[in-house]
């Protein structure tokens, strides 16, 4: 699933290519991606036609495109959602779901193979939209409060990776960047949060900010064609991953073989030497 760097790459692409353009026509090719717009696909298309896209914004893994009317298009990419900007005469992608014809001859296309993502219209001018008001700020947000995060983290009784994946505590971090941040911070994913010193908690959020900034500079992490920027290009941070997906490879810091453990129906990757498992581990 795209995490903060990948979604921010998409937001920047939308800023460059569609902000300020009027929507001339909307076509919903499959109803599932607009399932959360309860009035239905026809109303979705009618509400957007004639409106103008303003500067796109992001909170964690969510995107929204404010509209001149005061509404906003709220988007979540899910596992495989993509926004692509194409000429109107470009061939349709195989999994094209929603098309917005924009003034000037461009199309904004929502492509989603697995259709876990989706689009809806948020009917007020809140920022962020009320539907995602419960989502916490992310580490790259200038208003993110490090001290408040550290205190909230240390009051929890859970493992540090579970805490990092809780989008109500800190948003934008998923499986990939949690593992990478914990490797940089030299902490095991099952370290109990209520045993962490303030300096350790700060080290984790600093590491998360550092690794996601590095990923953003490289266009994010792409393992396949399911994540691309709005121009169809893939990110290349996968070449810089230290532990995620590296089971059996030597740690670049100490040479110990990277270990894979099952975690929440997924996987966690650690260096057993740099990130020793705590005796009171909480998974």
Q: Which residues are catalytic?
A: 2-3, 61, 266
Taking the C-alpha atoms of residue 200 and residue 125, their distance in angstroms, rounded to an integer, is 38
Q: Name the phi and psi angles at 262, rounded to 5.
A: -65, 145
- Distance of alpha carbon 39 from the chain centroid: 27
Residue with tokens 């906003």: 72
Please, is 57 exposed, middle or buried when counting C-beta atoms within 10 Å of its C-beta (0-12, 13-18, 19+)?
Answer: middle
| DSSP state string for 55-98 | --EEETTEEEEEBTTS-EEEEE-TTTEEEEEEETTSPPPTTEEE
Burial readout 95-104 (b: 16 or more C-beta within 10 A, e: otherwise): bbbbbbbbee
83 within 8 A of 98, measured Cβ to Cβ: no
Tokens standing for residue 249:
């490879």
Question: Distance between CA 63 and CA 40 in Å, rounded?
Answer: 21
Q: Provide the β-strand partners of residue 75.
A: 63, 119
* Contact predicate 83/64, CB 8 Å: no
Alpha helices in 232-275 (DSSP H): none
Before 187, cis peptide (omega within 30)?
no
């Amino acid at each position: 699933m795209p995490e903060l760097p990948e979604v921010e790459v998409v937001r920047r692409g939308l800023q460059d290519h569609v902000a300020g353009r009027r929507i001339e026509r909307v076509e919903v090719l499959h109803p599932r991606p607009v399932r959360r717009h309860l009035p239905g696909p026809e109303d979705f298309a009618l509400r957007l036609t004639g409106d103008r896209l303003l500067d796109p914004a992001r909170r964690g893994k969510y995107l929204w495109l404010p509209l001149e009317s005061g509404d906003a298009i709220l988007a979540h990419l899910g596992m495989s959602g993509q926004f692509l900007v194409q000429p109107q005469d470009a061939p349709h992608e195989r999994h094209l779901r929603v098309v917005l014809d924009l003034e000037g001859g461009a199309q904004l296309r929502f492509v989603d193979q697995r259709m876990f993502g989706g689009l809806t219209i948020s009917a007020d001018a809140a920022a962020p939209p009320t539907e995602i008001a419960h989502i916490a700020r992310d580490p790259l947000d200038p208003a993110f409060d490090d001290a408040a995060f550290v205190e909230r983290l240390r009051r929890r009784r859970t493992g540090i990776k579970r805490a990092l994946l809780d989008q109500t505590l800190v948003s934008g971090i998923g499986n990939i960047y949690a593992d990478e941040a914990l490797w940089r911070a030299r902490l095991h994913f099952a370290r109990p949060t209520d045993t962490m010193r303030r300096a350790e908690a700060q080290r984790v959020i600093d590491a998360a900010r550092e690794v996601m900034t590095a990923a953003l500079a490289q266009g994010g992490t792409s393992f396949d064609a399911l994540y691309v920027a709005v121009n169809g290009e893939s990110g290349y941070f996968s070449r810089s991953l230290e532990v995620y997906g590296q089971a059996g490879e030597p740690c670049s810091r100490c040479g110990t073989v990277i270990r894979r453990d099952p975690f929440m129906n997924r996987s966690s990757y650690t260096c057993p030497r740099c990130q020793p498992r705590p005796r009171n581990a909480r998974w």
